[in-house]
Amino acid sequence: MKYHKAQNIACFSRDEIDLFYKSTKSEEFSNIINQRGLNVSDLAQNRGLLESVIDSMVENSGKDKDEVEIFVVAYMLLDFYEDSSECCFYMENGFNPEKNEIRNLVDLKKYIKESSLVDFLILSKAGFRAFQLKRYRGNPTTEDVFNFLVKKLNHYGRELGDVNVLLLLQTQKLDLTIDFEELHKKVDQLKLPFKGNILINFNEEDKYDVIVEIYPGLQSRKLPIVS
């Protein structure tokens, strides 16, 4: 762990997060991956398996928001950055790394700041980048996704500063019919005041892990899914 005192942010490598999962030995997580004959590395390499495990984790753990966020940033988002990048979290006020030891997921979740606009951050060579995660299980159409985004943005008064909105599509059984160019135009017409990006992350036919920026620009990047 690297602690950035001025910002009260703690950062971790994926190897450290791996150790947290292993040391936690949560019954639900262990049961899910053991029943399927998987390990953490399998999940990092196969987006379809990963999404399935996330769904099971959320269902079985009473929608443990913090654990899902840790999982997403460590095993999905981090791959889009250079290897030295780390996943980070704002910590509770009064957190002291010399006294408050973090050895597993239970410890980490206990010290992550609650009710923060920022769910997690990525620290890369370019600096910190903050994210608000939204999970989407509805119809993957242009209009439905747009309406979902507007509802979530309105919740924050459409002002998120420099925080990036990451929309995670979890609609494996439905055909993706989003026209990203049209979605970009519709969002752009909202004249949003915040400086962050709006990004959509999804699995493309179990072949690619894709992130599409729909605001303020329109661009995409995909990584091959290793089976």
DSSP code per residue over the chain: -EEETTTTEEEE-HHHHHHHHHHH--HHHHHHHHHTT--HHHHHH-HHHHHHHHHHHHHHTT--HHHHHHHHHHHTGGGGS-TT-EEEEEBPTT--TTTS---SHHHHHHHBPSS-S-SEEEEETTEEEEEEEEEE-S--BHHHHHHHHHHHHHHTTT--TTPEEEEEE--TTS--B--HHHHHHHHHTT-----S-EEEEEEETTTEEEEEEEESS-EEEEEEPP-
Mean pLDDT, all residues of the chain = 88
Compare 48 and 199 and report the one with higher pLDDT.
199
For residue 61, what pLDDT is reported? 47
> If pLDDT is split at 50, 70 and 90, which confidence band does 8 have?
very high
For residue 21, what pLDDT is reported? 78
Task: Name the pTM for this structure.
Answer: 0.82
Q: CA-to-CA distance for 136 and 133, rounded, in angstroms?
A: 10
> If pLDDT is split at 50, 70 and 90, which confidence band does 38 have?
confident
* Percent of the chain whose pLDDT exceeds 70: 92
Q: CA-to-CA distance for 72 and 211, rounded, in angstroms?
A: 13
> If pLDDT is split at 50, 70 and 90, which confidence band does 227 have?
low
